[in-house]
Amino acid sequence: MKKRRYQSLVGLALVASLVNPTPWLGQSSLFESTKVLAAEEETPPEDEILPDANQLKAIIDFTKLNDELEGLIDSNPEEAGYLVEDEQAKVDRWKVYLAQTADGKAQAARWDALVARLNGGGSTPTPTPNPDPVVTTRTETIAITTIYTADANLEANKQVETFAGVAGVKTYTTRDGVEDAGVVTVAMQPRQVTVGTKSTVVTESIPAPKDIEELDAKLEAGARVLKKGAVPGTKTTTTSYTLNTATGVAVANAPVETIVEGTAAIYLVGTKTTNVPVVTTEEVVETQVVAFETIREDDPNLEVGKEVVETEGVNGERTIVYTVTKTDGVETARTVKSDSITTPATAKVIKVGTKPVHVPVVTIEEVVETQVVPFETIREDDPNLEVGKEVVETEGANGERTIVYTVTKTDGVETARTVKSDSITTPATAKVIKVGTKPVRVPVVTTEEVVETQVVPFETIREDDPNLEVGKEVVETEGANGERTIVYTVTKTDGVETARTVKSDSITTPATAKVIKVGTKPVHVPVVTTEEVVETQVVAFETIREDDPNLEVGKEVVETEGVNGERTIVYTVTKTDGVETARTVKSDSITTPATAKVIKVGTKPVHVPVVTTEEVVETQVVAFETIREDDPNLEVGKEVVETEGVNGERTIVYTVTKTDGVETARTVKSDSITTLATAKVIKVGAKKIPLIEDENQKVENQSKDKMANEKRLPETGEKISILANIGWIFMAGLFTFIQNKKKKE
């Protein structure tokens, strides 16, 4: 009975609210409660959570129920009792559902307080069901282990970190104070370290045996000439290493010694008593190849791109007769007696096609390209070398990389290129530098003067001779080398030369120029010319890797870009009739030194980020659709809203990943339409209006249109939403009222 009376009152209240909606529209808190709740609790405590969309709706309904109960306690305690009796089961479900939200717990406490107040303050409130078990989690870092791998090409006990490793994470879950055994949520990735086990080789010099003397009857008495120099022996100690994979230390094995005995110097000791030289002369005939010329002739009967050898080239022969003077069997002079072309060369004739063709000539050839592989520089400590000194034990040598391309040409023009093979044909040889670690002692410094003589090569002057045939040369004056005397001040430290400066440098014997008469008289002989050709080559830059404690492990930064240097080679090229027949190096120098490339390698330990995930709920408005329907009973030009449109609601739940508290990823966990939109239906008049109407009818129609427009509600999203809610409440109340009335009858 009490329940029926309460339902009747609710129905009447709903009807009253529909008749006069102004008081309801003024209660903005009913429509803004979601926004208020979200603003009040932005960051919940650890044992609380932010409510999702469904929980927010339950909190709003719970708040309304508490407001209603509080109002009835003051105005109608009897109806308040009926309300508690009817709604207690729902409230119990709400208490469990909202147990982990701050507003849910607040409304539950408020309900209990109101029930106690209704019961006179002394009775025990309805017991609240126990909330879900309290679940907490904690994480534990799994320390990074290290895997050591031996590298026979790396200096002993030198470590190179190839991978920094990633710490693992083990998560423990506690339910009602009981912690489980834990689950590995992030697998640990071990650190990878390469440890050098390269054998160390120490070579010591062993003095050569005592000198050996041999008597020489051709050498003047008292003379002693070195025939073969002494070669010191060597003692090589090689120490290999075995890696202890547990500690990462390369343990030295027993050293192995290899001894190579030296050889004694051999000196010739003269026993000859006379010093009268024996001078003889003889003729020496020398033949040289005269390279044939290649002539390319156009052939209009041969297709373009084709070549046919009409006449094979044959090299000629040039005969030079020298008069050779020998003193005591040793050549001391040589002059040209005759120089002639004994067999003329036959030119090679190639017919080159010039006949146009409409079919492109496609050829395939292999092109070989070589690239320089720069050598590595290794620095090794040497306990036998003093601190501050460095000795290059092994000079570095660049390797060579050979790339073979398959080149397709159409009419002689390259149209495609693919790599057939790419390999290291010559491995680079590392440059090994011994770095002294032996403590420095006080050196004994001495100075002395050393006299050195150098040969001053004579100049060759070539003078044209119109009376001499072209191609012939006659030495008019033999050249004689001069002598240059250089006096050095040599500084020695502990008997080893450490410095050398020039004290004096003078030409003691000037050189005598060699004068050659060059024939210019025309003959049917090849024209020989010389010219200088300059060639530049790239000098590959070196790459230096330096540790940087401010850069994280695994990262590398190029501090200085490497720049290749340039090497200039000047050749003296000899051409016969325009064809190169000889080439000699005149000079070879580094004109632009290469700049080394410097790379900073990070050694700073990597920070292990803290990764967390959480769910974020976002609601979006689903705009309602507007449908316009023709109405044959409504006059043309008039429109009537049959059904007001109501926006729907779309709820999106995101799984948000944060690294060190900063969002790094967001994925959609669920996306659903929680409230469907209601389409707005507008009836559009299609009834034709009579063409003639009197003034009274016109005034009446205008008056009706004005009244209809005044009664129509504003078409804004906010008002539509409010009226839709009122309509829903009205229908529910009306249905309840009719049901109660039928039961009474």
List the CATH number of the domain containing 150.
Answer: 2.20.230.10
**Whose structure tokens read 């001053």?**
456
Q: Within its chain, how far is the Cα of 282 from the centroid? A: 73
118-126 average pLDDT score: 59
| Residue 703 confidence class, pLDDT cut points 50, 70, 90 | low
pLDDT at residue 5 in the model: 44
What the block records as the tokens of 688 is 């034709």
Q: Has residue 92 been placed in a domain?
A: no
pLDDT exceeds 60 at position 713: no
309 Cβ contact list (under 8 Å, min separation 6): 348, 349, 350, 351
Q: How far apart are CA 63 and CA 49, in angstroms?
A: 19
Please state the φ and ψ torsions of residue 413, each to the nearest 5 degrees.
-105, 130
Q: Which helix (H) or strand (E) holds 54?
A: helix 53-75
Q: Has residue 402 been placed in a domain?
A: yes
Tell which of 415, 441, 467 closes a domain.
441
What the block records as the tokens of 390 is 């460095």
Tell which of 183, 198, 213 closes a domain.
198
The C-alpha angle with vertex 605 and arms to 604 and 608, in degrees rounded to 5, equals 140
Q: Is the same domain home to 292 and 352?
A: yes
Q: Which domain holds residue 503?
A: 442-526
pLDDT tens for residues 723-741?
656 776 777 777 777 766 6
Tell which of 198, 231, 250 closes a domain.
198
Q: Is the same domain home to 340 and 288?
A: yes
Q: Is the same domain home to 456 and 514?
A: yes
27 Cβ contact list (under 8 Å, min separation 6): none
Q: Has residue 633 been placed in a domain?
A: no
565-571 average pLDDT score: 94
Sign of CA dihedral 120, 124, 129, 130: positive
Q: Has residue 31 been placed in a domain?
A: no
pLDDT exceeds 70 at position 45: no
Q: How far apart are CA 68 and CA 46, in angstroms?
A: 32
| Torsion (CA) 273, 276, 281, 286 in degrees, nearest 10 | 50
Per the structure, the count of domains in the chain is 5
Sign of CA dihedral 90, 91, 96, 99: positive
Q: Is the same domain home to 259 and 284?
A: no
Q: Has residue 155 been placed in a domain?
A: yes
CATH of the domain at 393: 2.20.230.30
Q: Is the same domain home to 450 and 521?
A: yes
Nearest alpha carbon to residue 291 among 500, 574, 699: 574
Please state the φ and ψ torsions of residue 716, each to the nearest 5 degrees.
-120, 155
Of residues 46 and 528, more confidently modeled: 528
pLDDT tens for residues 233-274?
999 999 999 999 999 999 999 999 999 988 988 989 888 876
Q: How far apart are CA 238 and CA 258, in angstroms?
A: 8
Q: Is 123 helix (H, G, I), strand (E, B) or coil?
A: coil
621 Cβ contact list (under 8 Å, min separation 6): 647, 648, 649, 650
pLDDT exceeds 50 at position 716: no
The C-alpha angle with vertex 324 and arms to 322 and 329, in degrees rounded to 5, equals 155
Q: Is the same domain home to 190 and 210?
A: no
Please state the φ and ψ torsions of residue 523, each to the nearest 5 degrees.
-145, 170
536 Cβ contact list (under 8 Å, min separation 6): 566, 567, 568, 569, 591
Q: Is the same domain home to 411 and 373?
A: yes
Q: Has residue 87 been placed in a domain?
A: no
Q: Is 427 helix (H, G, I), strand (E, B) or coil?
A: coil
Looking at residue 655, its amino acid is: T
pLDDT at residue 150 in the model: 94
pLDDT exceeds 50 at position 465: yes
Average pLDDT, the chain: 85
Q: Has residue 126 been placed in a domain?
A: no
pTM equals 0.24
368 Cβ contact list (under 8 Å, min separation 6): 402, 403, 404, 405
pLDDT tens for residues 604-638?
987 777 889 999 999 999 999 999 999 999 999 89
